[in-house]
Every structure is written in structure tokens, then in C-alpha cells.
Amino acid sequence: MNLLTALLVALGGYLIGSISFTRIIGKRVAPEEDLSQTEVSFGDEGKSFTMHAVSATSLTFRKGPKVGCLASLLDMLKAILPTLALKLYYPGQDYHLIAAAAVMAGHNFPIYYRFKGGRGMSSLYGGLLIIDWVSIPITFVGGTILGALLRDMFMIYTSGILFLIPWLWYRFESIPHLLFGVVVNIFFWVAILPELKDNIEARRAGTAEEVNVKKFWELARSMWLKRRADQVGIDSEESVLQ
């Protein structure tokens, strides 16, 4: 690997990642709103938490899933294109890993917006679609299970990225892939630190949203049975009741 090429790839990826499609779209759909903090309500008791990210997720809470999905797809695309181009142009090299990580760094800490960005999941998934698409469902399932065991809804949504480190090592047995997993975890957890602190404080105060483990697994089992019933042509509602 050429050091100068690697540095140029990292710089280019970072500048591309710094483009905030949430802000670009937000100027059109919510021109008068401050996107830097988003208050999110949940549960039946009027609980809420504050999102400090400027991201597709915060835009979804503000303006609905269609707008948020558009921003998320564009965030994925800005990672997909350079990662794919470098993987094809430099086969057998690891420049595409550098590009994917650099795009996420730019997304989370954009130079154009005083380093205040998102949390990087859409851009990370975009890169992973090229690097190893299987890791996406693996990390999702792993995070869901870990969050359920911890009885913490916040961890269900965030902890999946931790499983990327052992998975990529198992998958490739490659130091560059392992380092990629470690680096993107650092980018993610540093960026999400404000929400993580809020969640820890909420748990201490007893106001965090906890998962009812029994109901969670009952719901998961019901969904699995429904899917299996649909596959074999059995009435879904009847199979779930059984």
C-alpha cells in the first residue's frame, strides 16, 4: 500500500463524508428549525430524550420516515460510491477500507459544520454493503440480543456495532479489517457520547426506557412463527396463537 495514496483516499473520503444531506434536505423541509437538537418522546408516561445528532434519524423524528429515509439513502450512497470504486480499482488492496472509515469520520465530525454531525450508521452501512454485507444483519441481531439482555432500549439500537470487531476478524482474519472495525467503533462511540451520557443518567434516575424481556422474546417468537407460517402457507394468526 502506498502511503501517499492512502492519505489522499482518507482525505477525499473525509471531505465526501462531511457533506450533510440531513442539513441540505432540512433546509428545504424545515428551513426555520434548529436541527442540532431533537426532542424525542416515547412510552405512555411522557418520557423523552434529546438527540444531539444532525442525522437522518433526527430528521425522521421531525419530518417523518420518507424524508429521513431519503437522507439515509444519500448518506449510504456517499459511502458506497468511493468504497466500491476503490475496491474495483485497487483489487487486493485495502484502500476501500480507508475510504469507508474516512467517510464515516466526515459524517460524524464534518469540517463544513464545525465538526457537529451525525452518528454514522447510514454511512457505515453503505461502506459495509461493499466490504461485507453479511455483517449488517449480524451486528443488528447481536445488538438486539445484547440490548434485550441488558433490558435497555438504547443499547438495542446502538450496541450492534460492537459485534463488528469480532465478526470481521472471524470473517477475514485480516488485520486491516480488524482495525477498520475498531476505528469505526471509536468514531461511533465518541460521536454518540452525549446520548450515551444521557442514557446512563436516565438509568440512574429510573427514567430510562427498559425492555420487558419476557414480552420482548414473546414478540420475537411470534414474529418468527408468523414468518415460518407464511413460508409454508399456514394461516399466520392461527400459528401464532398455537
SS3 string, the chain, reads CCHHHHHHHHHHHHHHHCCCHHHHHHHHHCCCCCCCCEEEEECCCCEEEEECCCCHHHHHHHHCHHHHHHHHHHHHHHHHHHHHHHHHHCCCCCHHHHHHHHHHHHHHCCHHHCCCCCCCHHHHHHHHHHHCCCHHHHHHHHHHHHHHHCCEHHHHHHHHHHHHHHHHHHHHCCHHHHHHHHHHHHHHHHHCHHHHHHHHHHHHHCCCCECCHHHHHHHHHHHHHHHHHHHHCCCHHHHHHC
At residue 111 the predicted structure's pLDDT band, cuts being 50, 70 and 90, is very high
Query: How does pLDDT run across 145-191, given as a tens digit for each residue?
Result: 888 887 777 788 888 999 999 999 999 999 999 999 999 999 999 99
Shared domain for 41 and 149, answered yes or no, is yes
Question: Does position 123 have pLDDT exceeding 50, yes or no?
Answer: yes
Q: What is the 3-state secondary structure (H, E, C) of 91-116?
A: CCCCHHHHHHHHHHHHHHCCHHHCCC
Tens-place pLDDT, residues 78-99? 999 999 999 999 998 999 999 9
Regarding whether 37 and 135 lie in a shared domain, the answer is yes
Per-residue pLDDT band at 60 (split at 50, 70, 90): confident
Same domain, yes or no, for 188 and 239?
A: no
Give the per-residue pLDDT at 200: 81
Residues 101, 34 within the same domain? yes
| pLDDT (0 to 100) of residue 235 | 46
Same domain, 156 and 219: no
Using the predicted structure, report yes or no on whether residue 237 has a pLDDT greater than 70.
no
Question: Is the predicted pLDDT of residue 101 greater than 90, yes or no?
Answer: yes
Q: Are 7 and 82 part of one and the same domain?
A: yes
Indicate whether 220 pLDDT > 60: no
- On whether both 73 and 148 belong to a single domain, the answer is yes
Percent of the chain with pLDDT over 70: 76
pLDDT, averaged across the chain: 81
- For residues 218 and 174, membership in a common domain is answered with no
Per-residue pLDDT, averaged over 54-59, amounts to 73
Residues paired with residue 157 on neighbouring β-strands, in sequence order: none
Integer Cα distance of 202 and 210 in angstroms: 10
pLDDT for 1-50, tens place per residue?
Answer: 889 999 999 999 999 999 988 888 888 887 777 666 666 655 555 555 56
SS (H, E, C) 212-233: CHHHHHHHHHHHHHHHHHHHHC
Sequence-distant (6+) residues with CB within 8 A of 18 are 106, 107, 110, 111, 112, 113, 117
**Residues contacting residue 238 through CB under 8 Å, at least 6 positions apart:** 229
Provide the domain limits for residue 109: 3-211
Same domain, 125 and 189: yes
* Angstrom distance (rounded) from CA 105 to CA 191: 9
Are 53 and 84 in the same domain?
yes
pLDDT at 173: 93
Cα of 24 vs its chain's centroid, Å: 20
Same domain, 227 and 165: no
Same domain, 168 and 54: yes
pLDDT of residue 90: 94
Give the pLDDT band of residue 240 (cuts 50, 70, 90): very low
Q: How many domains does the chain have?
A: 2
Euclidean distance between the first and final Cα of the chain, in Å?
Answer: 58
Residues in the chain: 242
Q: What percentage of the chain reaches a pLDDT higher than 90?
A: 43
Give pLDDT, residue 41: 57
